[in-house]
Structure 1
Amino acid sequence: MADKKVNPIGNALGLLRIRVKRGINLAVRDISSSDPYVIVRLGKQKLKTCIIRKSLNPEWNEDLTLCVTDPNEPIKLFVYDHDTFSLDDKMGDAEFDISPFLEAVKLNLEDVPDRTVIKKVIPDRKNCLVEESSIVWKDGKVTQNMFLRLRNVECGEIELQLHWIDLPSTRSL
């Protein structure tokens, strides 16, 4: 008997592309600096940026793409300092809710002028936002820029940008 494999794309709403832009004022974990990288988690999916050597203000500008199946599941970020001869040090974590972003994606926005703000997300105790984050219609796509304050650490923020990728519908013939 063959094992049944669940296809995560089968019940996917679409793909969320997260551009991990940069870190700001990250915590020192080595003698005078850190070698940070970011892990992004959604459910069982886990993606990692490259390591930026000796920087407290790293610029990754790296795209990580997650398959979204549950709009209510938060995206979790973990920042670590890479160490060669010991376990990597934690440099904080954050999470955010993608449901406001997904609500904007569902809207019919073709006739909306470029750079129109669709919705504003206000910082609260659940979302780790540093400041208000706008969901914008730009270049024919819904995008959201956000700054997240890292928790469980003395300092640090991460700047992200969200983009949505629709999956072509799969129909059996």
Structure 2
Amino acid sequence: MPHHHHHRHGMEHLLGLLKIKVLKGVNLAIRDVSLRTSDPYVIVKMGSQKLKTRVVKKSTNPEWNEELTLSIDDPNLPIKVLVYDKDTFTLDDKMGDAEFHIGSFLEAQRTLLDRVPSGTVISKVQPSRDNCYAKESPIIWKDGKVVQNMVLRLRNVERGEVELEIHWVDIPGSRGLAL
């Protein structure tokens, strides 16, 4: 039997769902020079999955507060965050990109945390030359779940940052985050 099933999202291959709350953009690049602003939206990509926020009109400090859901089957793949400026008549302009990995987040996810108070910082991911964090990224036990807050500095653009918050959802029937 040839194996063709690795492209389909079979439940047995899924670890679970990653909820990515795209909070806001900070000091994004200006792409509409006449109006000194942009109409930004965010695309989140992981492997073959591609999700998109709505467009915020005329803002270089947009607040999306939009939750996107990725199905995770390979936790080692980077999650890419791309910012674009919506153009009516031409191709949408790139406004930078960033990426992050969820290794530390998943590690924290496996820690048993029922006994610690909400707001407890489990660990922190430090910014380095090898990642896109603009500052320390805390992984926190909050309201019964592990949450990671991150500020990503956009690359390939003159300026801008994007703030995200992620948390995990286990799916019944998936292989889960077994140790």
Report the TM-score range of the alignment, normalised by the length of the smaller protein: over 0.9
Structure 1 contact 9–67 (Cα < 8 Å) conserved: no
What's the offset of the Cα at 1:9? 3.1
CA distance in 2, matches of 1:77, 1:138: 24
- Select 1:18's aligned residue among 20, 39, 44: 20
Matched, 1:97 2:101: yes
CA distance in 2, matches of 1:148, 1:8: 31
Structure 1 contact 114–137 (Cα < 8 Å) conserved: yes
Where in structure 1 do 4 or more consecutive aligned residues deviate above 2 Å? Answer: 4-10
Identity across matched positions, percent: 61
Aligned to 2:169: 165
CA distance in 2, matches of 1:126, 1:44: 24
CA distance in 2, matches of 1:112, 1:129: 26
Aligned to 1:47: 51
| Deviation readout 1:115-158 (Å, 9 max, x if unpaired) | 11111100012220000011000111000111000000000000
Aligned to 1:73: 77
- Select 2:154's aligned residue among 150, 157, 166: 150
What's the offset of the Cα at 1:16? 0.3
Q: CA-atom RMSD, angstroms?
A: 1.6
CA distance in 2, matches of 1:93, 1:45: 16
- Select 2:63's aligned residue among 42, 59, 68: 59
Q: Structure 1-normalised TM-score?
A: 0.93
Structure 1 contact 8–69 (Cα < 8 Å) conserved: no
Paired AA for residue 130 in structure 2: K
CA distance in 2, matches of 1:170, 1:67: 11
Higher mean C-alpha displacement, 110-119 vs 35-44: 110-119
Structure 2 residue runs without a partner (length 5+): none
CA distance in 1, matches of 2:85, 2:111: 40
| Deviation readout 1:66-87 (Å, 9 max, x if unpaired) | 0011111111010000001000
What's the offset of the Cα at 1:10? 2.7
Structure 1 residue runs without a partner (length 5+): none
CA distance in 1, matches of 2:162, 2:140: 19
What's the offset of the Cα at 1:7? 2.9
| Deviation readout 1:52-75 (Å, 9 max, x if unpaired) | 011000000000000011111111
Q: Structure 2-normalised TM-score?
A: 0.90
What's the offset of the Cα at 1:170? 5.7
